Chains A and B, each alone.
Chain A
C-alpha cells in the first residue's frame, strides 16, 4: 500500500455527495467481492447536462475519495464532457493517487460509464 496524499485523506474523511437520487436519469452499479467493493452511482440529467451525482459506496479509501471529487466535477457537464473524465484527471484533483490504487479507484469511472449507458438506453 503506497501512501496517500493529504488531499486524498481529507476528501475521504469528509466526502461530498454521499447518498442516492430518487428517480435518477441513470444508475451505474458495481460489485466486486475480491476487492470488497459495492458501489452505486446515480446521475440526474436535464436537457443534455448532468445536474446532480450521488453515490453509495463500500470500498477502499482511494475509491471513496475519487467518487467524491468525481461527483463534484459532474454537475454542469454534458455527457460528452463527462465521458472525458478519466483517472489521470481525477488523480490530479487528489494531488496524485498512488498508482497501485488506480485500478480500484477506476471503479468510479466505470460506474460513471455504466450510469451514462443506463441514461442513454432509457432515452434512446
Chain B
C-alpha cells in the first residue's frame, strides 16, 4: 500500500484512539439526556460526563468550568460571539448600530459573520495585517470608536500560523470599553492558552483541531449577560444554547482537552523541531523558497511556504499522487480558489499566493513523515518547474 503522509492537520486531525474509546459508551449504553439528571440516574451519568468534560476544557484554557459553553464547533462559537454581542449592545446599551473591529486575515467564520452584520447596518472595521502576518495593536487602537462593542482577532492564523499579541490587543479593547474575543481554534492544545493571561472576554475552541471529534467546540464566556443566546430552546447551557447536549462529542472534547494539556509541553517542542527540520531540508533542496509569515511568532504545527515559479494546485495534486496530503489555502476555502485571502492580506500578490502551500502537523506526525515529505516534494517542484 502506498505510504500516506497527512500534513493537513490544520484542516482537521484524526480522533485520538483514547478519545474515541471514552466517547463510545455514550452512543448506545449511556445514552440518556443529561437534562434528566434531577430524576434519572441514567441522566445523572450523562450529566456528570458533560460536567467532567467542562472541567477538562476549562482546565485547558485556564477558565472556570461555568465559563465554558459547549457549541457545535469553532464556526458556531465565532458566529455567536460576533452577532450575539454586537446585536445585544446595540439594542440594549447604544440604541444605535454598534461597531466591530476585526482583521482582514480572519477565518471565514469571522469574516462572513462580520459581513453579515455589516449588511444589517452594523459597522465593521477590518484592520490590516503586517507583512509578517501579525496585527499591530496600534492599528486596532486607531480603529476604535465610542460605539465599538467587540474586538475579535484570532489567536493564531489558520493558514500561516502566526501568533497575535492578544493580551496587548485586549488592553486596547478594554481601554475603549469594548469586549475582546479571540478565535483560538489553531492554538488550543498547541501552545499555552490562558483566558486570563490573554485578557479575553470570549474565546472560541474547536475539538477536531486537537484530536477530538468534529461537530463539537466551546465558547469561553466571561460574562453571559454580554451576549444574546445562540439558540432558544430547553434551557441547556444556562439558557444560552438550547438543544440536547451532544454528549459523545462533549465527552470527546473533554478527553481531547485533557490529553492536549498533558501532551502540550512535549508536543510544543517536538512539533517545533519537526516543522523547522522540514523547512530547513526543503530550503536546502529547493531554491527560491520563502516562508509566509513570521517563523518565530508561530504555532509549532504550521509551515506555509511559497515556492517561486510553481502553481500550488498541480503541486498539491502531484503530492497527493505521492501520498502527501497538504493544503493551498485553508480547507474551508478550497472550493473557491487556491489564492488565499490570508496571503494577499499580508502583501502577497495573486501569483505568490497561488505558489504557496501549507504543511501542518499534529500529534500523529512523525519524523519519518517529515523525511518523506522532504525527500519527495523537491522532485515534484523540479517536475513542475521543468515544464516552464
Interface residues of A (CB under 8 A from B): 1, 4, 9, 12-13, 15, 18, 33-36, 38, 56-61, 64
* CA distance in complex: A6, B349 (Å): 31
Contact between A1 and B386 (Cβ–Cβ < 8 Å)? Answer: no
Answer yes or no: B165 CB below 8 A from chain A CBs: no
A38: chain B residues at CB < 8 Å are 388
Contact between A36 and B314 (Cβ–Cβ < 8 Å)? Answer: no
Contact between B334 and A60 (Cβ–Cβ < 8 Å)? Answer: no
* CA distance in complex: A36, B339 (Å): 10
Task: Please indicate which of the listed interface residues B311, B318, B335, B384 has the most CB atoms of chain A within 10 Å of its own CB.
Answer: B311
* CA distance in complex: A64, B387 (Å): 9
Contact between A1 and B313 (Cβ–Cβ < 8 Å)? Answer: yes
A12: chain B residues at CB < 8 Å are 314, 317-318
B321: chain A residues at CB < 8 Å are 9, 13
- Residue of A33, A56, A60 near B314 (CB, 8 A) is A60
A-B pairs with beta carbons under 8 Å apart, 23 shown: A1-B338, A4-B317, A9-B317, A12-B314, A13-B318, A15-B387, A33-B349, A34-B350, A35-B350, A36-B311, A36-B339, A36-B351, A36-B355, A38-B388, A56-B387, A58-B311, A58-B385, A59-B311, A60-B311, A60-B313, A61-B314, A61-B317, A64-B387
Contact between A18 and B313 (Cβ–Cβ < 8 Å)? Answer: no
Answer yes or no: B14 CB below 8 A from chain A CBs: no
* CA distance in complex: A1, B332 (Å): 11
Interface residues of B in 319-351 (CB under 8 A from A): 321, 334-335, 337-339, 349-351
* CA distance in complex: A35, B335 (Å): 16
B314: chain A residues at CB < 8 Å are 12, 59-61, 64
Closest to B315 in A: A61
Give the Cβ gap from A42 to chain B, nearest Cβ, in Å. 14
Contact between B354 and A36 (Cβ–Cβ < 8 Å)? Answer: yes
Give the size category of B's interface with A: 20 to 34
* CA distance in complex: A30, B291 (Å): 29
A9: chain B residues at CB < 8 Å are 317, 321
Contact between B350 and A18 (Cβ–Cβ < 8 Å)? Answer: no
Closest to B355 in A: A36
A36: chain B residues at CB < 8 Å are 311, 339, 350-351, 354-355
* CA distance in complex: A13, B316 (Å): 12
Give the Cβ gap from A100 to chain B, nearest Cβ, in Å. 9
Give the Cβ gap from B337 to chain A, nearest Cβ, in Å. 8
B355: chain A residues at CB < 8 Å are 36
A60: chain B residues at CB < 8 Å are 311, 313-314
Closest to B318 in A: A13
* CA distance in complex: A9, B387 (Å): 16
Answer yes or no: B309 CB below 8 A from chain A CBs: yes
* CA distance in complex: A60, B318 (Å): 12
Contact between A57 and B350 (Cβ–Cβ < 8 Å)? Answer: no
B387: chain A residues at CB < 8 Å are 15, 18, 56-58, 64
